[in-house]
Amino acid sequence: MSGSASFIAVDWGTTNRRIFRFDGGAVAHTEHDDRGAASVTDFAGEVAAIRERFGDLPMLLAGMVGSTVGWRVVPYVAALAGVDDLVAGLGWIDDRTAIVPGVSCSKNGRGDVMRGEEVQLLGAVAGWMVPPDALLAQPGTHCKWATMTGGRIAGFTTAMTGELFALLRGHSLLAGSLTADVTDSEAFREGLAEGARRDLAASLFGIRAASVLGLRDDADAASFASGVLIGADVAARMDDCAFEQVHILADAALGDLYAAAVAATGREPVIVDSHSAFARGILAIGDKAL
């Protein structure tokens, strides 16, 4: 592809997807819906329907569509992984439809995996939104923390911070206390400090004890609990962090909470638009692959 060609990209997660049409190296149109990989069985039919709506164009699919819950399992590319490595690892369905591989890494016998986040990471660098050597955080159900070296993904750690919060809110002894919205409040900041002690199981029971003893308003419990979880996540990542800046790829609300947590550790948070990063990343891949 010359960089001016047109194609369709799908950021296809487990529960949601975002579809982009690119014309001449820019996003011409984008749509978001809830037809995630886990709810789709006829992927060929879905792709045909997307082409009917967005144009009969080459397609790149990224994310969980390449996993066991998706269309076809595309093997992970091992870190160090840059754009060229992802292009070499594309899983071709036919000669104009390919799935972007995820990335794996391994350090000291501990392995980790990502699918979908790699496009944002490489796009953030390709689009000059972050330096080629940087630490990036992608908060969410499973928060990814990736180190970029020379513009490639060098290694990463996933923390199930968002999932733990959902488990506590949905099913734990604390569920009844965690119904309020999470805000960057004084309770959230107190939670960050508590989380930095990295004693999660005790800090979380402390929410119950504070409620029973009347030490904290139950309306503040959700923000405090989120602060504990995010504070523990961020504190663990700062242990051996050589970077003064932490770049955060997230939607506004969650990005602000992580930014506050990063700032509390004395580092400088920098928010990066995750949709722009994905677009730049998939453009870089399309430029070499299509």
- Residues near a second copy (CB under 8 A): 76, 104, 106, 109-113, 142-143, 157-161, 163-164, 167-168, 170-173, 194, 197-202, 204-206, 208-210, 212-213, 215, 229, 232-233, 236
- 3-state DSSP assignment of residue 198: coil
Q: Quick one: 38 or 44, whose CB is closer to a second copy?
A: 38
The kind and range of the H/E element at 206 are: helix 200-212
Q: Quick one: 210 or 270, whose CB is closer to a second copy?
A: 210
Q: Quick one: 129 or 136, whose CB is closer to a second copy?
A: 136
Considering only CA atoms, which of 12, 126, 16, 3 is closest in space to residue 60? 12
Considering only CA atoms, which of 125, 109, 124, 147 is closest in space to residue 238? 147
Q: How far apart (Å, rounded) are the C-alpha atoms in residues 77 and 231?
A: 31
**Residue 30 zone, left/alpha/beta (φ > 0; ψ -120 to 50; rest):** beta
Q: Quick one: 101 or 286, whose CB is closer to a second copy?
A: 101
- 3-state DSSP assignment of residue 249: strand
For β-strands 97-99 and 134-138, DSSP reports them as unpaired
Extended strands (E) in 150-208: 152-159
The nearest distance, CB 31 to a second copy, in angstroms, is 28
The nearest distance, CB 159 to a second copy, in angstroms, is 4
Q: Quick one: 24 or 176, whose CB is closer to a second copy?
A: 176
Q: How far apart (Å, rounded) are the C-alpha atoms in residues 12 and 21?
A: 14
Q: How far apart (Å, rounded) are the C-alpha atoms in residues 215 and 131?
A: 45
For β-strands 110-114 and 103-107, DSSP reports them as antiparallel
Q: How far apart (Å, rounded) are the C-alpha atoms in residues 101 and 91?
A: 7
Q: Quick one: 161 or 177, whose CB is closer to a second copy?
A: 161
The nearest distance, CB 269 to a second copy, in angstroms, is 19
Q: How far apart (Å, rounded) are the C-alpha atoms in residues 146 and 149?
A: 10
The nearest distance, CB 88 to a second copy, in angstroms, is 20
The nearest distance, CB 179 to a second copy, in angstroms, is 17
Q: Quick one: 170 or 266, whose CB is closer to a second copy?
A: 170
The nearest distance, CB 245 to a second copy, in angstroms, is 21
The nearest distance, CB 167 to a second copy, in angstroms, is 5
